[in-house]
Amino acid sequence: MNQDQLKQLVGRAAVDYVTSGEVVGVGTGSTVDCFIDALAAAIAEGRLTVAGAVSSSERSTQRLQKHGIRVLDAAEVTGLTVYIDGADEIDGQGHMVKGGGAALTREKIVADLADRFVCIADASKLVQTLGKFPLPVEIIPMAAAQLTRRFATLGGTATLRAGVVTDNGGHILDVTGLSITDPAAFEAEVNQWPGVVTVGVFARNKAQVCLLGGADGVQTLTF
């Protein structure tokens, strides 16, 4: 199977983690697009119902609404049973790098509402150590130069993602050259740097389940 087919495979598998009648948390990205389509098909076929969705991006909101799924504001819910999203990298403990789609801040907000994070990804995203994928960091624009210098002290090279403005009005630095051996400590440290809105390491809000698509089908990893 090619990568698009793997995304469709894990997108369909993730529907089984949605509790009928409840509100579901929905992430962002091409793999999540496949989940949204599979969720809509399950609803149309009468296999489940949802009370609505809390979305982490305008992109996902538009796709959900196109399928007739009601989108709620995060402030309208006090909790979610499940949040389903992709990852740019995931390690063997469920820690992730996210933000390739520039929605990392809202993704963390929605993930923090959920009892369970279900990550959907293809097998190429599973790594031993985070850092091969450029680390996205949402920042306040005026802090770009000083944050670039801060990452340089860690051995990282930060590059401003050209032409990208997040749904929150922030900018994105992509940082290469890092080896993130202690994701929780790294996330806690970088999140305190002035000018950082959110770092794209998901350790505090790590995955509890990963549905990993590969040549042999969907492998379920639990953490």
**Does residue 88 have a known ligand-binding role?**
yes
Please tell me whether 85 is known to bind a ligand. Answer: yes
Residue type, 149: R
User: Could you name the CATH architecture of 3-127+204-222?
Assistant: 3-Layer(aba) Sandwich (3.40)
Dump pLDDT digits (tens) for 88-123: 999 999 999 999 999 999 999 999 999 999 999 999
**What six digits make up the tokens of 91?**
């390690």
Looking at domain 135-199, its CATH architecture is 2-Layer Sandwich (3.30)
- 107 classed as catalytic: yes
**Extents of the domains making up the chain:** 3-127+204-222, 135-199
174: region left, alpha or beta (phi > 0 left; psi from -120 to 50 alpha)? beta
Per-residue model confidence as pLDDT tens digits over 163-209: 999 999 999 999 999 999 999 999 999 999 999 999 999 999 999 99
Query: Token pair of 112, please?
Result: 């923090």
63, 132, 166 from 81: Cα distances, Å: 21, 31, 27
H and E: helices and strands count for the chain = 6, 14
Q: What is the pTM (predicted TM-score) of this model?
A: 0.94
Can you read off the two tokens belonging to residue 113? 């509402």
Is 108 among the annotated ligand-binding positions?
no
Q: Given 89, 107, 138, 187, which residue is catalytic?
A: 107
Is 86 annotated as belonging to a binding site? yes
Asked if 114 and 82 count as a contact pair (C-beta separation under 8 A), the reply is yes
